Amino acid sequence: MIEIRNVYKSFGSTEVLKDVSLTVPPSRTTVVIGPSGSGKSTLLRCCNCLETADRGEIRINHRTIISDGKPLPDKELNALRAETGMVFQSFNLFPHMTTVENVMRAPVVVRGMAKAEARELAMELLRKVGLGDKADVYPSTLSGGQKQRAAIARALAMKPKVMLFDEPTSALDPELVGEVLQVMKTLAEEGMTMMVVTHEMGFAREVADTVVVMADGRIVESGPPEQIFTNPTQERTRGFLRALVDGHLAGARPQPVADDPLDALPGNH
């Protein structure tokens, strides 16, 4: 469970988050959408103190990770981060380790797990994300989609109770997006608590329990996906969704916009 209460964050004189409050209930998936620069990635990164929120409070599984600019002491922070999986846009796999070493390293170093046991766990997770045959190769030989699936396995190896996804498919070739989303969908169905920052509206529609729309450092609107996508109450949300559809159509064949412009989006069934 993630509880974000009245969080503010500035970079220099730029206010990136302004009084943001949000709760991700246990075993639910919250998808955060919004234009770039809206602060959604910063909000996510504040949840495990990769960025320091200046004011307000963030609690992970009922433990305060940061309160009014003061993060937990290092030791406890490390322990809480270990239970909070993070998946990055740019994968950030460790290039000097094989895929299986990437996955098993943190359990060995942080939890003191025996190597044999950690390897077994890592292999199990790699098979789960469909990379059982890639265990002993270096990340440089993997495709983007494979890299991101390996990164998800790496995060899962710490047996996190919460998973944070920071635009996990934004750096991928379009044809590789599906395989990563599939893994995330499976996780959500297994009851993982997830907070996902993404531009994949199809995923948001299909998997999210709650969709949160951010703009200019604030939460504009939030609700179940049906409401956000078919009946948004805020002009800001409508504007963002319209721009998104226009962007998609600009790259596709020209065709008249449907009554519900979102029908034109891929992944909309």
Partner 1 sequence: MTLDFAPVWGGLPELLKGTVVTIEVTAAAFLLSAVLGLLVGIIRLNPARRVLYGIASAYVAFIRGTPLLVQLFLLFFGLPQFGILLPAMLCGVIGLGIYSGSYVSEVVRGAIQSIDRGQMEAARSLGMSYREAMWEVVLPQAFRRMLPPLGNETIALIKNSALVSLLTIDDVMREGQRIISTSFRALEVYIAVALIYFVLTNAATWILRQLEKRMTVERG
Q: Find out whether 57 and 68 touch, Cβ atoms under 8 Å.
A: yes
Distance CA 25, CA 243 (A): 30
Distance CA 254, CA 145 (A): 29
Q: Which lies closer to partner 1 via its Cβ, residue 74 or residue 259?
A: 74
Least CB distance from residue 23 to partner 1, whole Å?
A: 21
Beta carbons within 10 angstroms of residue 13's beta carbon = 5
Closest by CA position to 267, among listed 188, 181, 142, 193: 181
Go through the chain and tell me how many residues it has. 269
Least CB distance from residue 240 to partner 1, whole Å?
A: 27
Q: Which lies closer to partner 1 via its Cβ, residue 60 or residue 201?
A: 60
Least CB distance from residue 158 to partner 1, whole Å?
A: 6
Closest by CA position to 238, among listed 220, 253, 224: 220
CA distances from 138 to 99, 124, 141, 143 (A): 6, 18, 6, 11
Distance CA 99, CA 179 (A): 17
Instruction: Name the site residues for partner 1 (rule: CB under 8 A).
Output: 48, 50, 74-75, 78-79, 81-86, 88, 90, 92-96, 105-106, 109-110, 137-138, 140-141, 151, 154-155, 158
Least CB distance from residue 87 to partner 1, whole Å?
A: 9
For strands 29-33 and 63-67, give the pairing. unpaired
- Residue 159, Cα to own-chain centre: how many angstroms? 16
Least CB distance from residue 88 to partner 1, whole Å?
A: 6
Least CB distance from residue 41 to partner 1, whole Å?
A: 12
Q: Which lies closer to partner 1 via its Cβ, residue 83 or residue 206?
A: 83
Distance CA 182, CA 192 (A): 14
